Amino acid sequence: MAVDVGHSMIWDVLLDATAMAAGEIAPLIHRLIEDECLSAQGQRVTIACPVAAVADLRCTFPGFSVQGCLARALAAALSGAGQSLRPLAIVQGGWSWSGQTIRRLLDELRRDPMIASAQPRFVSSTGDRVLGCMVDQPVQMPVAAARYLPEYYITRECLSPLMVLSAQAVVAAPRPTNGEALHAYAEVLSGLRRRGYRNLLANRILVPWTGKGLPSDRVLPALAHEDADLLRDIHLEQPELKLERVLSRAFTAQGRPKILIDARGMQSMMNGTAVCTLGFLSGFQELAQHGASISVVAAKDAALSHRLAERFPALDIQHDEPKGYFMAMVLMNQPWDMDSIRAMHDCAAVISANMLDTIMWDIMFTSKPGLRQTWSLFGQCTDILFFNSAYSRDRYSFRFQPDTRIPKIVTHHSMSPNEIARSVDEDRLVPGKYVLVMGSDYEHKDIPHTLEMLSDAFPYLTFVSVGDPRKELPNVISYSSGSLPEETIANLYKYTEAVVFPSHYEGFGLPVAEALAYGKCVIVRKQPLWDEIRSISARPDSIRMFQRESDLVKLLGEIINAPEAVPPETGVTAGNMEPRWIDCARAMLSALDQAIAEFDGRRWMFRNDILYRN
């Protein structure tokens, strides 16, 4: 173990000056003696230098061991440190290292008795980039990204301008016999690894690199030994390389983290997913105007159809595939397969998705094979789970039991009439009184049965169906869902007497929010979800619930026969403002910011091992 004198730990030093000019070595040693108290507490100092400088240095520094051969100097330093059971600091070149850095590296060695060596990270001479951490890793990342790295990596042996060997390592290390520098270091370091000792790269210890004595591309030069090919193959499997590639391009030039909104689940037509996505984008547009760096990737045809670039000029709109890397991303809909999770992981440090509902898996007849595995695994390895309601959150949690440590954030959709209601530019489409029945052709929407039952109960009333009735009825006007222009839908909402939304299963229920925005009463099937929607609505009494078919008939009769009343003002709920899209987007961005602040790489590497295991 290391020897302590008072509160100061003593370590020996090997100064490898073999790449320095002879005249530069003595001034360097004088500075180290003055600034770093080199050898002041009995440290053994060994100097490896060009042969031409040996005599002068021995004369100038008689207390130091001076060798004109790196292998002999390294062997002497190891033997001396081993006899005293001291750590050994190996320093290459004439750059400005400090004893304080060595003390911090010695603390890193205490993490594990089988850690032989500890090395710092190096910062470029310009002070804004962290140099690549391994031989085959030329990537440099912004200093702002360094705080998001794991505290340390356990790596193969690699040569560094500064490394500290533990007292155990100097005793266990083989003594070099090859005089060439890289071979000599390789004999020692690979010999330690073959004995079970490993190297620790300390990502939190950043050292300024001046480049003196060694070119910057040789901060971690390759070692030459018989295990090189095997180690290179093993090294390329290490997830640290991929993580650093992501972090290297995950920040703007001003140091702000880049956020990606993946809107590729949005189609060209207007449906619930499109309404939700466009609403969130309007909120992100406002946040981007105040400094957030937000990119959006969408299918090109959908981006053009919905005029994303025109509507959201503060957002960086990308088509089809994301460009670059990001600190965080959110998929605006559920991931449908494992490949989509891998794609998210490969381009962002923090990943999340807006789990709108679990309906597809529950109804099963449209469910893709492997969907259960996809959603189950996502709940174990994502960073955040977003939900459009607590109801959706609870359904997902009960079915897939996600990791309890993962934040599960509810981001309701907008309930603000100003953001939901659209202008109606055309004449009334349906003359006379009618009731709007909203849904689709999925069976859980229950459109055909509901229309048949209401048509019989109210033969004198016209029903307009946005869905897909299975048979024609005399008093029903039908439209296919997903194909209507926004203006047509607005027209149907504006003039209806009431809205019936008979769905058995929803995650949020956009038609309910739309009906309320147009000042209409909406009848829904009794579910806890509608109590939640009532709590964020300024018109909770306009949501009526039924369980039995007779209840539906009774409620609809009461509404269409009631005297016409002026709708109450909207905007304020029982203690909260109705959520707007800016509120929804801010809640999502706030959760992403929190995840970024807490990011340390551990979950990312855990996820990488799961997604890419053989």
Pairing assessment for the beta strands 499-501 and 434-438 based on DSSP bridges = parallel
pLDDT (average), residues 389-406: 96
Model pLDDT, residue 222: 55
Model pLDDT, residue 565: 54
Residue 573 has pLDDT above 80, yes or no: no
Q: For 117-151, write each residue's pLDDT tens digit.
A: 999 998 887 788 888 765 555 667 888 888 898 89
Distance CA 182, CA 45 (A): 21
Instruction: Give φ, ψ of 577 to 5 degrees.
Output: -70, 145
- What is the DSSP code string of 115-149? EEEEEEEEE-TTSSEEPPSSTT----EEHHHHTTS
Tell me 540's DSSP state: G
Distance CA 199, CA 90 (A): 14
Task: Write out the E strands in 266-389.
Answer: 293-298, 316-319, 326-331, 348-354, 384-387
Q: Which of 80-94, 236-250, 327-341 has the lowest mean pLDDT?
A: 236-250
Model pLDDT, residue 425: 67
Distance CA 405, CA 345 (A): 19
Which has more confidence, 368 or 113?
A: 113
Model pLDDT, residue 1: 38
| Model confidence band, residue 568 (pLDDT cutoffs 50, 70, 90) | very low
* Amino acid present at 404: T
Model pLDDT, residue 6: 32
pLDDT (average), residues 15-38: 89
Distance CA 345, CA 100 (A): 37
Model pLDDT, residue 224: 54
pLDDT (average), residues 181-190: 86
Residue 299 has pLDDT above 90, yes or no: yes
Domains annotated for the chain, with CATH where assigned, are: 3-240 (3.90.550), 258-414+587-611 (3.40.50.2000), 420-561 (3.40.50.2000)
Residue 482 has pLDDT above 90, yes or no: no
Residue 251 has pLDDT above 70, yes or no: yes
Q: Is 579 left (phi over 0), alpha (psi -120 to 50) or beta?
A: beta
**Which residues, other chains included, contact 145 with Cβ-Cβ below 8 Å and sequence gap of 6+?**
130, 247, 248, 250, 251
Residue 330 has pLDDT above 80, yes or no: yes
pLDDT (average), residues 161-175: 94
Which has more confidence, 126 or 29?
A: 29
What sign results for the dihedral spanned by CA atoms 258, 264, 268, 272? Answer: negative
**Which residues, other chains included, contact 6 with Cβ-Cβ below 8 Å and sequence gap of 6+?**
none
Q: Euclidean distance between the first and final Cα of the chain, in Å?
A: 40
Residue 8 has pLDDT above 50, yes or no: no
Residue 571 has pLDDT above 60, yes or no: no
* DSSP SS3 for 179: coil
**Alpha-carbon distances of 139 from 57, 244, 470, rounded to whole Å:** 39, 7, 60
Residue 221 has pLDDT above 60, yes or no: no
**Alpha-carbon distances of 600 from 204, 246, 378, rounded to whole Å:** 11, 13, 19
Mean per-residue pLDDT of the chain: 88
Predicted TM-score (pTM) of the model is 0.85
Q: Are 602 and 150 in contact (CB under 8 A)?
A: yes
User: Three-state SS string across 365-415, please?
Assistant: CCCCCCHHHHHHHHHHHCCEEEECCHHHHHHHHHHHCCCCCCCEEECCCCC
Residue 231 has pLDDT above 70, yes or no: no
Q: For 519-567, write each residue's pLDDT tens digit.
A: 999 999 999 999 999 999 999 999 999 999 999 999 999 998 887 654 5
Tell me 222's DSSP state: P
Model pLDDT, residue 469: 64
Model pLDDT, residue 284: 96
Nearest to 256 by CA among 418, 359, 417, 144: 144
